[in-house]
Chains A and B, each alone.
Chain A
Amino acid sequence: MAPVLVLWLAMCLGATWAVDRGNFKTCDQSAFCKRQRALKPGDSPYRALLETMELTNTRLTLQLINDNNKVRLLLELYRLQGNITRVKINELKPLKPRYEVPDVLIRDPPTEPLSVLSQDESGVVLSLGAESQRVIVSVRPFRLDIMEGHDVLMSLNSRGLLAFEHLRMRKDTRADPEAEKKEEADSADQAEATKEEEEKAEEGMWEETFKSHSDSKPNGPSSISLDFSFPGVEHVYGIPEHADDLKLKTTDNGDPYRLFNLDVFQYELYNPMALYGAVPVMLAHNAQRTTGIFWLNAAETWVDISSNTAGKTVFGKMLDYVQGSSEIPQTDVRWISESGIIDVFIMLGPTPKHVFSQYASLTGTQSFPPLASLGYHQCRWNYNDQEDVRSVDAGFDEYDIPYDFIWLDIEHTDGKRYFTWDPHKFATPKEMLQGLLDKKRKMVAIVDPHIKIDSNYKIHNEIRSRGFYVKNKDGGDYEGWCWPGNAGYPDFTRADMRAWWASMFAYDQYEGSMENLYTWNDMNEPSVFNGPEVTMHKDAVHGDWENRDVHNIYGLYVQMATAEGLVQRSGGVERPFVLTRAFFAGSQRYGAVWTGDNAAEWDHLKISIPMCLSLGLVGISFCGADVGGFFKSPTPELLVRWYQTGAYQPFFRAHAHLDTPRREPWLFGPENTALIREAIRQRYTFLPYWYQQFYHAYRTGEPVMRPLWVEYTQDPATFAVDDEFLIGQNLLVHPVTEEGARGVTAYLPGKEEVWFDIHTFQKHNGAQNLYIPVTMSSIPVFQRGGSIIPRKMRVRRSSSCMEHDPYTLYAALNARGVAEGELYMDDGHTFNYEKKEFIHRRLSFSNNVLSSVNLVPDSHFTTNSWIERIVLIGSSKPAKVTLKTADGIESQLEFDFDASMSVVTVRKPGMNAGADWTVTLE
């Protein structure tokens, strides 16, 4: 109990500063969650009607009946290519259509044939393709069990928590006698249903009030729920966004994890409260298998997690083990959503990488970002005027610190009218942008989705006249308070609205914009200062649907339309860069996300790791946290440590609140300036590796920043690690996130592995906890033995300035003297990579020969870059080193040997980075 008490105390103390929890609903305050959670596990009232079963080549359909109210549901079951099973459940005859989330799946997922293996009155056994996988449909009570061999991988409704609130007419105020008649004349089933159903009109079904806000609920109760069980699983992950540990906790003694996009002011850590984004994807992992659930629903969603081993102490578990009386560990989860249908994709792995690829086949992969966006971003709310921008830009040159993007927050606009510039402070934006362009640098300006209601504002007038605003429940334009005061919210769920929005980014529409100006979408949950829970009223109307149905996907649409605008303005040539705060499943296709308004506190630095790891697991690789912390002012030590951490996280941006003192890297004395400079420079030397990782993420859906267990799937010691992480497979980072740290203990995974300190080349064995003494300049990073990492060691003032620079190859040999890696390059900013205009090579070292071979022979791209140095880490001393180029010419290369660390440095081999070659050690 002690740790719980400490946690509780910490939370109470934290509350003096942090979020006003009262502004946000608990499950108890959310009527549908309360209703659903009141339902306890037990026998399900649902029964499968086998006589209604239809099996076509691509799907099985089957009706389910609720024996309590006789309402029928339609179950659809699909086998999808790539080891995915899709289960859809909707009302057989809903009163009106229920929302099915569009635009998230990248296509209609291709199916595979299903076949019946056996059938009797108690159920059906279906084969799930070639592997020995089967799904068992049990009739009474209805449940689904997915098996492989003798193992149950996952069960649905095994706890009887399938609950489907069917749409109904309101009884107490049934004003329309026509409708009544019509309903009476309805099918026999339906009549039966309405009669049988002695439904209690519970509070909150037809109307709900939270604080001063009332939700009219014209459609009445419509929530859905389903439970999933994972036998043999003790670790589940995902369902971002929460400021919590990587490994999800059980929720028996508190609220479920909530998925509902919200602008949370000064969010608290280590709790299941909803934040800015929602990705309803959960991964379940044990040493044998990884599986995933994708719950495609955009309404407010709560996820309950329980486990039969969670309460047990290590001793208890050991006792179980010794006594052999252990029940199989099992994790049970339950999903509850306010509206829509049950549409769930069961990704059966079996490895984490299979799950990533399965999820990517549904929702797409991370967009391939422009290379420059992987550099360092300097942001602040706000750089005051053009002179301010110029002097900060000059500061980076003066202190010789590289950066690629400088950012402008809301104050750059003319009175918070997006797409405009303050006429005094930013009178000549093109001049400013040209100044940055001259130094090969770029800018991001904010464009939020709330539009100032002002008849002199072109954007507002156009949206209003085209009827593009979200409507309120009474049919008028929905209005809410945000930065500009009274604002309208464009209906981004409409394709025509998005097309219009995209057209506003054309150079002739967005005055003062240039090709080096990119975009940031903030407040797109959407944030409504005077709305319930600081967001839009759920009964606001988006075409045929309520905000209730579409809420969590609104932010995705904003970023989608914006990214499309940036693509279109260049005629489809240039890659966009758009940062978003709100997100949903599929947001990875449109750009980067950040973890919102964090604070300058050590715990916020720590939490940035699990928050970005969780996002990576569900496809969103381009993640970062505000370096330094948004609210409050960091101590120099915290700021330095944050730069050191951020330099090894995917999206690397410093940001600060308007009310905080300046904190550009050079404002904390020469020592801290040097430390920050060094951290940023390390980032730039690794840009070729980052870029290759992002190309890989774009191709495969694998996360760039990943938890250790993704690579070391069988090592339970890695399963809950979230104070360190991997970048790709080859870099392990354990940033210092403790104040006054003298050392950190890093877990180096892999029995077979060796790890090399990237700074000293010192070798460490895998599968050990390694204590690393640290100073202020330490960033503990290790390269995996067996890998080759290309770097560019000539750090210049921006990534574009380094385009033609030569590479240094760092080959760290494993115990068998082997290493492998990849080298990827292209123009860095266009879509020409889609036309194979790139160089992608495999680098491998074995039998004392390092070679570079083309991975994609029909690719075509040329580079001036060459190989300036090869560093062989963990190598013995060769007698000579010989280069053989593609034309067969051999030449001797000079080299150095450092005996203390066993490092061979080959001097200036000089071959073109795009060519075939071998380097032989003899």
Chain B
Amino acid sequence: NKMLSSEMWIHILAIALFCCGSADSRKVRGISSSYKRFYREKKSFLCIDGSKLIPFEQVNDDYCDCADGSDEPGTSACPHGRFYCTNLGFRPHYIPSSRVNDGICDCCDASDEYNSHARCQNTCWNLGQRERAYVEGQMRTLDEGLRLKQQLIEEGVLLWREKQAQLRELQQVAEDLQIKLEEHRRKKREADRFKEQTLRALKGGDGGKSFHLKNKTLGGILICLFCNPYSISLDEVKAEVVPVHDEERHLGDDEAMVLTTTESAKTNRTLTCVLAHLLNTNKKFTVQGIKKVSFCWVLICDLQKKLAIDYGTDWEFLFLNGQCYKLKVYEYMYTLCPFNHITQKSTAGTEVSLGLWGMWAEPAKNRYNQMIYENGEPCWQGGSRSTTVTLTCGTETALRSVKEPSKCQYIMDFQTPVACQPVLKQRGVHSEL
């Protein structure tokens, strides 16, 4: 798959000269070698679709006889015909017949303008050179990109494992604490019984020390992360928590909010468990305690949410989560934080959301080349801003371009090694005759 050597090029050139010298150039105009068999000089020509038999002189005579356009590969006569640009030194390709002799140079070998006022230069060698340089560059990029990608995959796997380990660790802690909590409960019950007995016995004696959960509470709370479904509203949270702490102080809105920050039903469910547990286990639980608990809980929830995203088959996109990439386009600064959100900030300073992480464009096909961010700032004419991010292969991870083809619909080009695909490897410059 490396570049063709210069000897090969000379070889090809020689073949080309030989071919052109030996064939009727008028007849072969506009066809590729693989179609030559249809155009062998005979008395008549059968349209390739088999629809009509015409005298061979009528091939490329600038009049369309065949419905499929096959009799005029070298002229503009047929409405749906095509012309083959050999483009020796560059990439051969077909152009619509309508571009033959239209005064515009389409084939780099100038073969399409053999009878027009356009003075076309043969630019194939230059283009080929440039193309080869470009392809080489692309291939270097790809090689480098794939190397970096491999690293990132490895890192991603490590990161994934790390996170999984964290989660497992927390789960382990939870289990441990569960056991300890059971122990505490048992002890408390015993203590209560003892207290009761003591109270009954001593009548108003010193009494037992109040049960202190402090850090140990966490265990009981974590257990609840995986417990029975239930849902609860902000008001209910306050209603349930407040009576517990009424001697101390009311639970502020902020604090209740901390508890309900998370949007999903799952969140509320676990939160409720926490509270239910608190209420069941310890009436002297402090507000500080709840804060700590909820903070710990947010961490776990966050981790779970993060781990729920599809980071690619090898978790290669995982490292992007938590990063942000900026690009200034005209008067706007755009910020892409993959798997989170996209914003646009004007020089005047106002910041607008162009969308929150939605999904991969084609999740089913295991293709990770387009991300969709949606539900950004609402638009004047209805709907909300959304952004489609196309991932392209590059050695660096960076935001390359931002466009707004229609109002409130943005498209971004985001370059990163992890978008490099081995299948993308260019086939190099063709030299078919």
Contact = CB atoms under 8 A, between A and B. Distances in A.
A796 B116 CA distance: 14
A868 B96 CA distance: 20
A797 B63 contact: no
B260 interface: no
Interface in B373-403: 379-381, 403
Nearest to A663: B406
A660 interface: yes
Interface in A394-452: 400, 424-425, 438-440
Interface in A799-834: 800-802, 805
Given A440-B103, A659-B381, A384 B404 contact: yes
Main secondary structure of the interface of A (DSSP, over half): loop
B98 A400 contact: yes
Given A400-B98, A795-B98, A660 B63 contact: no
Interface string B62-90: 11010000000000110100000000000
Contacts of B404: 384
Contacts of B99: 796-797
Nearest to A402: B98
Interface residues of B, number: 24
Interface in A840-868: 868
A802 B76 CA distance: 11
A907 B63 contact: yes
B193 interface: no
Contacts of A659: 379-381, 407
Contacts of A802: 102
A660 B409 CA distance: 10
A174 B99 CA distance: 77
A439 B98 CA distance: 13
B96 A424 contact: no
B405 interface: yes
B406 A662 contact: yes
A661 B102 contact: no
A378 to B, nearest CB: 14
Contact of B103 (A424, A660, A794, A801): A801
B102 A797 contact: yes
B104 A438 contact: yes
A104 interface: no
A139 interface: no
Interface string B102-123: 1110000000000000000000
B63 A424 contact: no
Nearest to B81: A794
B330 interface: yes
A688 B404 CA distance: 39
A384 B403 contact: yes
A388 interface: yes
Interface in A354-404: 384, 387-388, 400
Contacts of B62: 868, 908
B405 A662 contact: yes
Contacts of A387: 403
A485 B406 CA distance: 24
Contacts of A660: 406-407
Interface in A218-261: none
A387 B63 CA distance: 39
A553 to B, nearest CB: 35
A797 B403 contact: no
B79 A795 contact: yes
Contact of A388 (B103, B330, B405): B405
A800 B116 CA distance: 13
A388 B403 contact: yes
A32 to B, nearest CB: 39
A662 B406 CA distance: 6
Nearest to A664: B405
Contact of B63 (A658, A662, A868): A868
Interface string A638-682: 000000000000000000001111100000000000000000000
A438 B106 CA distance: 11
Given A384-B404, A659-B380, A660-B406, A424 B98 contact: no
A801 B76 CA distance: 11
Contacts of A797: 98-99, 102, 104
Most-contacted residue by chain A among B63, B96, B98, B407 (CB, 10 A): B98
Nearest to A439: B104
A684 B132 CA distance: 39
Nearest to A802: B102
B106 to A, nearest CB: 9
A720 interface: no
A104 to B, nearest CB: 41
B98 A794 contact: yes
A915 interface: no
A384 B405 CA distance: 7
Contacts of A439: 104
Given A794-B77, A797-B98, 4 more contacts: A384-B405, A440-B103, A440-B104, A794-B98
27 contacts: A384-B403, A384-B405, A400-B96, A425-B330, A438-B104, A439-B104, A440-B103, A440-B104, A658-B407, A659-B379, A659-B381, A659-B407, A660-B407, A661-B406, A794-B76, A794-B79, A795-B79, A795-B98, A797-B99, A797-B102, A797-B104, A800-B103, A801-B104, A805-B76, A868-B63, A868-B77, A869-B63
